[in-house]
Structure 1
Amino acid sequence: MKKSLLLILSAFLLIAILAGCSSNNGGKLDKFTVVYLPQESDEQAQELNKDFEDKLSEKLGVPVESIKANSYNAAIEAMKNGKADYAMFGPFSYIVAVDRAKVEPVAEITIPSMANGPASVIFVPKDSPIQTVADLKGKTFGFVDPVSTTGHLLPKYTIVNELGISVDELDSFFKDVQFAGGHDKAIIGAARGQYDAAASSPMVINMMEEKGVIEKGSLRVIAESESLPGTAIGIRGDLPDDVKTKVKEFLLSYDNAEYFSMLGMTGAKFVEANDSNYDHLRQIAKDLKLSSDELLQ
């Protein structure tokens, strides 16, 4: 009963926060709101995000504020309802945001050195007897979030392809499937034995090892996905064109190596966005029978 009450109160708190974050007043932009998605963060990350917001505020000539969403769903709904203006999306959450919230791409983040590397990995504790995807039958598995590219869409696609089974057959393949709620939670869950296996971005695993959140080498990769287009930067589609232009100009000229390293994207940069880069992921989502209506219920 106490747990249920806490969940209800948390939901009302998030709604109250988002309800107070409208960026428009009678059609005039009086502030610009960035919504951050679930991820592992620390004091340095907060400082770098604040510096980013301050510089963006100077470019736009209005205050830039930020809110944190407890899920990709909440972030997308915030943009749909006009309570947030900008978010950094994984490719899959981006295409859902375009579909559900009329988000437009304003830039992408690319990492040249990782352009051809796996975007997602499936991993187990280092001493696990599990060696292959087939060995996951009857095991517990931790995905990140229903709308996560590297924590749900790609690893599920990888599993289906490696096993040669249908999406419907996958439902009975695992003993139990859970959504951890964040890349860091999925990684820690596998490291601590909460899940027999989990999936995430390899960049986040490396970042957490470097920060000492998990022991280096405590996880072992058993499968890798294909590479992906860059991380999409989405902006609310109904914002004034001059605001979109200023945000785009700011991003394409933004050069802060520490900021990208904090994101686990060493060597990354903002580049021009291209929505067609995500068409392959749209097809994968269709193949996996993952629609935005189902994911954001």
Structure 2
Amino acid sequence: MMKKLLSFLVFMLIISGILAGCGTSSSSGSAKKDKFVIAYLPQESDEQMQKTYSNFEKELSEKIGVKVEAYQANSYNAAIEAMKNNKADMAMFGPFSYIVAEERADAELIANLNNPELEGQAPSVIVVPKDSDIQTIADLEGKTIGFADPVSTTGHLLPKSTIVKELGIGVEDLEKSFFKSVQFAGGHDKALIGVVRGQYDAAGVSAMMPAMLEEKGIIEKGSYRVIAESESIPVGAPFAVRSGLDQEMKDNIKKFLLSYDDPQYFKNILGTENAKFMEASDSDYDQLRDIAEMLNLSPEQLLES
């Protein structure tokens, strides 16, 4: 009798443990994420831009049912690391920084923000001060050049590849003997302002940046000259999320982006009200991976630059 009672008690303890374990698992599995963090990369920013971001965050929050917060990264690397360490859930990357984020932080492409007005046009330019004696890429020899960020598509890799192709020299020779100095300004606006103020002899920046800064009165119209343009690329601004997010949330975010229709948001982000979110595939970025390979730049090298 005692044996049967003991066996029964052991049996009940085991069942209780199993049920408790199931209950805990179920509870944690259904626990709702209490916030969603968007990492913003270094770029020109002002009060209007902050309002634009705030409106976007509010609408996204309503769609996914979670509070949306912003994280302003001071570098592309910082944004990528934030996503890698689960401190950021989504970011609008540049094409090259997305490639690095996909490899290093397992970022998952969810949509592209495209500007149809720029289709087939050069996304990147090399600029010099208006009164500079620099007329061609060859004239940059012995000069100081400023780029936006090591992992910037239009503010580093595209202008650099343009110079390499034009001169027919290796990347190592370009940086060690051709230029007097290669510097990173920390943003497209900072690189362009640096040129206008004489900090750099030239800079590689997004082709949209000069007009945007002129319109806002940050630089004077005609205070710079464009001496070269990059080749066009078939992708826009990639939006990527942490791959570890719940699939339902990913689906809701994608639906939100693809149906988003705020002309002011698009104008402030890409300079035109006609921009829009579109379906995207990771293979769209293979051409850019080829450019990075041509420049002998791995994701790790880019982040260490």
TM-score with structure 1 length normalisation?
0.90
Q: Distance in 1 between the 2:192 and 2:31 partners?
A: 43
Q: Compare CA radii of gyration and give the structure with the larger one.
A: 2
Q: Distance in 2 between the 1:26 and 1:140 partners?
A: 55
Q: Distance in 2 between the 1:247 and 1:113 partners?
A: 25
Aligned to 1:21: none
Aligned to 2:228: 223
Q: Quick one: which of 63, 66, 69 aligns to 2:70?
A: 66
| Residue 291 (structure 1) aligned with residue 291 (structure 2) | no
Q: Quick one: which of 196, 201, 207 aligns to 1:191?
A: 196
Q: Distance in 1 between the 2:107 and 2:31 partners?
A: 18
Q: Quick one: which of 211, 218, 229 aligns to 2:216?
A: 211
Q: Distance in 2 between the 1:120 and 1:42 partners?
A: 22
User: Where does structure 1 differ by over 2 angstroms across 4 or more consecutive aligned residues?
Assistant: 24-28
Please report how far the alpha carbon of residue 264 of structure 1 lies from its aligned counterpart in structure 2 after TM superposition.
3.3
Aligned to 1:9: none
TM-score with structure 2 length normalisation?
0.88
SS in structure 2 at match of 1:108 = strand
| Residue 41 (structure 1) aligned with residue 48 (structure 2) | no
Q: Distance in 1 between the 2:168 and 2:276 partners?
A: 37
Aligned to 2:141: 137
Q: Quick one: which of 56, 60, 85 aligns to 1:81?
A: 85
Q: Give the number of the structure whose residues are more often helix, by fraction.
A: 2
The CA deviation string for residues 7-56 of structure 1, in whole angstroms up to 9 with x for no partner, is xxxxxxxxxxxxxxxxx999742111001111111111111111100000
Q: Distance in 2 between the 1:194 and 1:216 partners?
A: 18
Gap change, CA 1:27 and 1:183, over 3 Å in 2: farther
5+ residue gaps, structure 1, are 1-23
Q: Distance in 2 between the 1:167 and 1:26 partners?
A: 51
Q: Quick one: which of 248, 259, 267 aligns to 1:261?
A: 267
Contact kept in structure 2, 1:204 and 1:264, CA below 8 Å: no
Please report how far the alpha carbon of residue 263 of structure 1 lies from its aligned counterpart in structure 2 after TM superposition.
1.2
Please report how far the alpha carbon of residue 252 of structure 1 lies from its aligned counterpart in structure 2 after TM superposition.
0.4
Aligned length: 274
The CA deviation string for residues 127-152 of structure 1, in whole angstroms up to 9 with x for no partner, is 10000000000000001100000011
SS in structure 2 at match of 1:29 = coil
CA RMSD after TM alignment = 1.4
Percent of residue pairs bearing the same amino acid type: 62
Q: Distance in 2 between the 1:168 and 1:296 partners?
A: 17
5+ residue gaps, structure 2, are 1-27
Q: Quick one: which of 165, 172, 182 aligns to 1:168?
A: 172
